[in-house]
Structure 1
């Protein structure tokens, strides 16, 4: 399933239902609880998955738990509106946050991550022209980090493809996230059955909710460093 780079979330929703193998209406926030000043893309995501639990006890009540792993999508109750900007997402240690414009369905995404390392940075800058694109990169990243089995792997994509007996299918290509577009894409995702492969800032991650390592090609595996992150 290749997600499309268009202004819709239907394909992302279909992927999430397929990946987790379940969906209930309680996973979404009731429409009358979602602020109408949110851009349409965020309203749609909250209505679909704003209270989707991952089965752990590590998250605040009503939080979208499947999107709380590496970076954190705020719950509707935690959204912060200041004048015409809404803070809706933060890095897991609150080192940076992301904002959108209130009452603007075409709002770009702003981020202040550059303050961490750029002495000349002066606050938020536009990092993504499309909120729909941003949300697909973010949500898929969180799905990978939410996997019960998670590995980081050293090697090139061609070698990683040889690990699997089935071909990797493109899932989301050339994804942009919190880096300005002129710096190039940072997130790309592939799928092989029950395994997701994420290339994130040049590192490769393998995630699955089942034990998949026994099915990998031993000859290729012996030449590649595979490091378990969890469990």
Structure 2
């Protein structure tokens, strides 16, 4: 399935339900507890998955655990208003965060990651004109990093295809995240059965909630280097 780059989250929701094998209404934040000043895309994500747990014990309380594996989507009670914007997401070590405009369903996404290398006078810059696009890239990244089996892999996509008996399907292509827009897309995701493949800043990751080697082609494994990240 290929997620659509449009102003909707329905295909992302369908993917999450299929990937995790089910859904319960308790995974979402009650609508009357979601701040009405949030852009529609964020309201929709919180209503669907703002309390989605994964059974772990080492996460921020009341936050959607499936969305705090690498970077962290704030729970609604942690949202931080600053003048006309609200901070809703932060990097895993707190080095940068992201904001959107309040009372604007068409808000772009602002980020201050560039301050790590750029002495700009502008603290936050626009990194994505579409909040829907940004959220799909973010959510899929967190799904990969949340997999029970996680590997890095050396090589290009055609080498990785050798690992699978079936063709790899495109899931989300040319995803923009927190880098300046002019630097181009940074994330692409593929799906092959119960394995997710993520290209992130030029590096490839494989993730699955099943025993990964059992899903791979032994002939391909002999010619490609996999490094297990977890379980370690």
SS of the counterpart of 2:58?
Answer: coil
1:59 aligned residue: 59
SS of the counterpart of 2:53?
Answer: coil
How big is the shift at 1:120? 3.3
1:179 aligned residue: 179
How big is the shift at 1:121? 5.3
How big is the shift at 1:184? 1.0
**4+ residue segments displaced more than 3 Å:** none
Q: CA RMSD in A?
A: 0.9
Deviation per residue, 1:17-52 (Å, 9 max, x gap): 000001000000000000000000000000000000
Instruction: Determine if contact 1:197/1:207 at 8 Å carries over to the other structure.
Output: yes
How big is the shift at 1:69? 0.5
Question: What is the rounded CA distance, in whole Å, between the counterparts of 2:211 and 2:121 in structure 1?
Answer: 44
1:149 aligns with 2:149: yes
Structure 1 gaps, min length 5: none
2:127 aligned residue: 127
Q: For 1:32-181, list aligned pairs within 5 A.
A: 32-120=32-120, 122-181=122-181
* TM-score, normalising length: structure 1: 0.98
Size of the aligned set, in residue pairs, is: 231
Structure 2 gaps, min length 5: none
SS of the counterpart of 2:139?
Answer: helix
* TM-score, normalising length: structure 2: 0.97
Instruction: Determine if contact 2:164/2:220 at 8 Å carries over to the other structure.
Output: no
Instruction: Determine if contact 1:114/1:121 at 8 Å carries over to the other structure.
Output: no
Deviation per residue, 1:168-213 (Å, 9 max, x gap): 1110001100112211111100001100000000000000001021
Question: What is the rounded CA distance, in whole Å, between the counterparts of 1:189 and 1:95 in structure 2?
Answer: 25
